[in-house]
Structure 1
Amino acid sequence: MTTTRPPHPDPASPRGPGPHAPGEPRERGQSPVGRAFQVLRCLVESGDDWGVRELANHLGMPPSAAHRALGMLEDEGAVRRDPATGRYLLGFDFLRLARVATDSFPLWRAARPMLQELVGRRDETALMNIYDYQRMELFVAACVESTQPIRYTEQLHKWLPVHAGATGLAILAFLCEADRERVLDQRGLPALTERTVPDRETLDRALERIRADGYAVSRGQRVPGAAAIAAPIFDRHRVIGDIALTIPDFRYPEDHLEEVAADVISCARAVSAAHGANG
């Protein structure tokens, strides 16, 4: 069995760019709590161990501040120090709490059986994506895989843009105008593939169509060879993410797209209702 997983750059890798993603305010990291969270995020996203000076250089903070942050986290069991190397790793209590938090995440608990039902109907990989208004990016919060021998899956919890691919466009289309303009002004429209939407005029037409249809489709806009069909999910006030089927392009359901999209929309509406959306 072959599983096709599209590659993702890892901006939080130990040798990658610094900690502040575009749109992430720097002032969050200036308080002791903010710095501790920066340190913890770095350890989580890199999956590596770190020395104090190495970590301080990567995060752009004084070594003394990094050392204090690590000390605070070590006292609470969030990080631990390898006695042989003196380098810092995630603590066991943090790993325990992370698993408890994931398993008890109410939206995930509500969505999982609905995603499973969608996969049962279409036998393509189903995703639940969540949008972060501060970062102006989405991440894949849940995935139920297809049983097909060739299928697309997404790496969980990695930040992804919203300007390319159905999984992003289904969110972008339903942001309020001010939030949508903020995303486009600050993030622009960098081309991820030759099929990424190239300009604002084309994008505006695509978003208008998505709002009219209630779902987005894409073929190779973010990952070559991958297609997707996505519909937004809402809470009581605003769009919070979407439900998507991700499909190898050679299985794109051109002849019965509306039927498949109707199933995706139905799943998204059920997840929205479970999260308090009204209609």
Structure 2
Amino acid sequence: MDDESTTREPRRIKSIEVGFRILRLLEQAQEKLLLRDIAVGVGMPASNAHLYLASFLHEGVVERDAATGRYGLGPFAVQLGSAALRQSSLVERAKDLLSQLRTQTRHSVFLAVWGNRGPTIVFKIDGDEYGPMGVRVGHVLPLLSTATGRVFLSWLPAEQTGQLVEQERSSSVSLAGNFDARIRDATIVDIAKDVRRDGIARTDSAMSGGFSAASAPVFDQMRQLCAAITTLGPEPDDTAVAQFEEALRNTADELSRRLGAPR
């Protein structure tokens, strides 16, 4: 009897498992989905799917675009993913390095990884000054108008970033909330060429919401991009720029080394 009880599967709540079929569908989708597409995708009547979505909307796990009626993952889903990443070995291995970088630069520093919506901040230490761009853990950053985004843009394949790039081009709005022709006219090839050459991406205060930013890539044991480390703060003078960027590169290189990236 004891053997049977130890091997028996624990009881599960079927409605939760059904609901997670919807969440997995939204996670795998490249864009927000209509109710009918969700219903077909999970194999249930639209009326049933709507009930699950209503509950997920209430909890913030799902959000609905009022203009299109399409559903996508909501802010709490981003927070869940960020919490999981904060507990991962990547963040644990990065914490002391980012703390040292913050001490060296006195700027805000943060670690971002690629999420289902783009570069997502998973760890952050505030700098001496708080600027207009109040980034926080869980914040998703644009590709074209942020230094962090430009790092991912320079190493990830076009099929992974293309749709987000086109969405950003269509608005060409910077983090400061203003139209910026540099976003509309940005050439991906030129961005990648500069970032790969310098080992660092930069954006000025006009594009980065009042503060300048610099970001460097972090690589894993397969020499694949897995994260970006970014500093964000007041525009430094010419002498400090070189020092800050060297400290940033060294920090990213050391985290890559800890993750087993080949030299």
Q: What's the TM-score once normalised by structure 1's chain length?
A: 0.61
Give the % identical residues: 16
Alignment of 1:205-244 (within 5 A): 205-220=190-205, 222-235=207-220, 236-244=222-230
Once the two structures are superposed, the pairs formed by residues 11-22 of structure 1 within 5 Å of their partners are none
- Structure 2 residues without counterparts, runs of 5 or longer: 1-25, 64-68
Structure-1 separation of matches of 2:147 and 2:248? 12
Structure-2 change in CA distance of 1:20 and 1:197 (3 Å): farther
Please state if 1:265 is matched with 2:246.
Answer: no
Q: Which residue of 2 aligns with 1:110?
A: 93
Matched ranges for 1:34-183 at <5 A: 40=56, 43-44=59-60, 101=84, 104-132=87-115, 134-135=116-117, 137-146=118-127, 148-151=128-131, 153-181=134-162, 183=164
Number of the residue aligned with 1:192: 173
CA distance in 1, matches of 2:204, 2:91: 27
For 2:256 and 2:53, the matched residues in 1 are separated by: 30
- Structure having the higher helix fraction is 2
The alpha carbon displacement at 1:200 in A equals 4.7
The TM-score normalised by the length of structure 2 is 0.64
Q: Which residue of 2 aligns with 1:14?
A: none
| Aligned partner of 1:31 among 28, 37, 42 | 42
Counterparts of 2:54 and 2:92, CA distance in 1: 28
- Name the count of aligned residue pairs: 215
What is the match of residue 246 of structure 1? 232
- SS of the equivalent of 1:229 reads strand
CA distance in 1, matches of 2:136, 2:102: 18
Unpaired stretches in structure 1, ≥5 consecutive residues: 1-18, 48-57, 62-89
Deviation, 1:22, is 9.1
Partner of 2:239: 255
Contact 2:172 2:184 in 1 (8 A): no
Q: State the superposition RMSD in angstroms.
A: 4.1
The secondary structure found in structure 2 opposite 1:156 is coil
Q: Which runs of 4+ in 1 moved over 6 A?
A: 19-22, 35-38, 97-100
